[in-house]
Amino acid sequence: MDGEAAVGEALAAEARGAETEPASIAWASSFAADAPRIHTPIPGPASLELLARRNRHEFGDFPWIDMLPLSFAGGAGVTLEDMDGNRLIDLTHGHMSAALGHGNPEVAEAIDVQARKLMNTRNYPTEARIELMERLAQITPGDLNLFGFFSSGTEATEAALRVARTITGGHEFLSFYGDYHGKTVGAMATGEGGTPNTGPRSSGHMTVPGGWCHRCEFKLEPSSCGLHCVDFAERAMLVNSHGRLAGIIAEPVTNGSGGRVYAPGFLKGLRDICDRHNIVLIFDEHATGLGRTGKWWAGDHEGVIPDIIIFSKFLGNGYPITSIAVSERFTAEANRSSQSSTHGGQPAACAAALAVLNILQRDKLVDHVARAGEACLNFLKGLAARHPIVGVAQGRGFLIGLEFIDPKTGAASAQMASKVAVETIRRGVVVSPVGPTMRVSPMLVTSEAVALRTLGIVEEAIADVESRL
Ligand SMILES: Cc1ncc(COP(=O)(O)O)c(C=O)c1O
């Protein structure tokens, strides 16, 4: 089925499904009924006017704004409204943080009630903070029942590195190509986040290829490689170590590099390396945690339990709160690892997170994502087979993306991804390209029918770009 046929079929399915979906999906997806609805050029005049004011005062490059400037006035459920009144379907939702919908009334109400009661008491116990820990302990795997709260992903990454250092007395970490863990100095040393201006990677950090078979860095075949990437990772770690190893940090499914899923056995291989050398395994589940991949934790797909998990972009549905969960085996060390943050876990953020957990559990959104995510990935795989500029469709659940290539050489092409992204946004679907990949990750409250219809619009944009090559 091509993009246009998918759109037609999905519209009919949407009409049939609207009454039977769980409350959060029915609410959020209902706003897509008349979206996309585009009545000005994108960007329109009001978007450009706000952008000019922005350019006067805000510094720092933001590639998506440079690619196609848009300014937003509001959002409802799975949609965004730009300054010119165009309504777009949102496949990025604040870098995948507003996963339960813009303007979610249950989350907004929880924040409002709590903010009127108590603003901030730093790390002192509050009912909301403690209840959140108790609820999370029911969800986290194994004995990962010790928590800390922060306001951003990168702070939680730093916290994980601190705990691992305290546990091991070491400071050397192994991480993987294509991973991203944040933009503070320690976090940047663990991924591909640096620029010529950010200075050298902190010493003690090593980055090696992960087990991503589509473009195997060792040019090996999955059927015969015997997971050479795991052996290489261990060997590189030992060769580069000066005897102060602390841990391995990995995204179990990658976000920044467009939803790379590692070879079966790769994550287990990392667990084994950590066990062999008495070091700490950290999974960065900022993008994947709390059900985005169709299980509560991406590590669950492989049955691998790390020592530390850091999560999650949408714990507060866009209200800033992130968390670290540490194994109880390390209670003494975690207690000494200096965890505090002025805004981390402030009461209204915890209230937002409790509302998010209530909705996730009440509406069984993790099961929904597993089912609908599979349908979406199948559609994307068909799309990859039909279109020569698509290299691969990848991901899990609602963390899905496409890699674009130059059809003549087969080389990964950031330029092609950017062209497709621009055409997709002009059609009223907001997507985020990163290098040669483009994430097309729906909110967790997107119905399968709306998600498939939206991906059909992505296919129309791809066909348009191809027709002009
Ligand atoms: C997997 C992952 N870890 C960490 C981060 C950093 O989060 P933040 O931007 O909130 O610092 C990100 C952000 O994109 C991410 O995708």
What pLDDT does residue 12 have?
66
Type of residue found at 148: G
**CA 430 to ligand 1 center in whole angstroms:** 19
**CA 381 to ligand 1 center in whole angstroms:** 27
Ligand 1 pocket, mutate which of 313, 314, 324, 437 (most atoms under 8 A from CB) = 313
Distance of alpha carbon 60 from alpha carbon 423, whole angstroms: 25
155 and 189 part of one domain: yes
The strand order across the sheet containing 72-76 reads 72-76, 79-82, 87-90, 429-430
Asked, for residue 111, whether it belongs to a domain, the answer is: no
**CA 216 to ligand 1 center in whole angstroms:** 25
Query: What global pTM score does this model have?
Result: 0.95
What pLDDT does residue 16 have?
63
Q: The domain containing residue 57 runs over which residues?
A: 3-103+364-467
Kind of pairing, strands 308-311 and 322-326?
antiparallel
CB of 142 closer than 8 Å to CB of 305: yes
What pLDDT does residue 60 have?
83
**Of the residues 362, 386, 413, the one at which a domain ends:** 362
Asked, for residue 277, whether it belongs to a domain, the answer is: yes
**CA 386 to ligand 1 center in whole angstroms:** 33
Ligand 1 pocket, mutate which of 154, 282, 437 (most atoms under 8 A from CB) = 154
Distance of alpha carbon 323 from alpha carbon 328, whole angstroms: 15
Asked, for residue 222, whether it belongs to a domain, the answer is: yes
Asked, for residue 272, whether it belongs to a domain, the answer is: yes
**CA 407 to ligand 1 center in whole angstroms:** 32
**Of the residues 334, 362, 390, the one at which a domain ends:** 362
What pLDDT does residue 3 have?
57
Asked, for residue 110, whether it belongs to a domain, the answer is: no
Ligand 1 pocket, mutate which of 62, 151, 181, 253 (most atoms under 8 A from CB) = 181
331 and 424 part of one domain: no
What pLDDT does residue 64 have?
84
Long-range CB contacts (within 8 A, 24+) of 333-340: 333/163, 333/166, 333/167, 334/146, 334/163, 334/166, 334/167, 336/166, 337/159, 337/162, 337/163, 337/165, 337/166, 338/162, 339/148, 339/159, 339/162, 339/163, 340/122, 340/123
Q: Can you give the pLDDT of all 469 residues of the chain as single tens digits?
A: 565 666 666 666 676 666 689 999 999 999 999 999 999 999 999 999 999 999 999 988 788 888 888 999 999 999 999 999 999 999 999 999 999 999 999 999 999 999 999 999 998 999 999 999 999 999 999 999 999 999 999 999 999 999 999 999 999 999 999 999 999 999 999 987 677 777 788 889 999 999 999 999 999 999 999 999 999 999 999 999 999 999 999 999 999 888 999 999 999 999 999 999 999 999 999 999 999 999 999 999 999 999 999 999 999 999 999 999 999 999 999 999 988 899 999 999 999 999 999 999 999 999 999 999 999 999 999 999 999 999 999 999 999 999 999 999 999 999 999 999 999 999 999 999 999 999 999 999 999 999 999 999 999 999 999 999 9
Query: How large is the angle between the packed helices 365-386 and 448-467, nearest 10 degrees?
Result: 20
| Number of domain units in the chain | 2
List all residues whose CB is within 6 A of at least one atom of ligand 1.
95, 152-154, 157, 180-182, 251, 255-256, 284, 286-287
99 and 169 part of one domain: no
What pLDDT does residue 2 have?
61
What pLDDT does residue 199 have?
79
Asked, for residue 112, whether it belongs to a domain, the answer is: no
Nearest CA to ligand 1 atom 4: 181
Nearest CA to ligand 1 atom 7: 153
Instruction: Ligand 1, residue 183: give the atom nearest the CA.
Output: 11
152 and 263 part of one domain: yes
**CA 182 to ligand 1 center in whole angstroms:** 5
Q: What CATH number is given to the structural domain containing 31?
A: 3.90.1150.10
**CA 7 to ligand 1 center in whole angstroms:** 32
Instruction: Ligand 1, residue 154: give the atom nearest the CA.
Output: 11
Asked, for residue 297, whether it belongs to a domain, the answer is: yes
Instruction: Ligand 1, residue 152: give the atom nearest the CA.
Output: 10
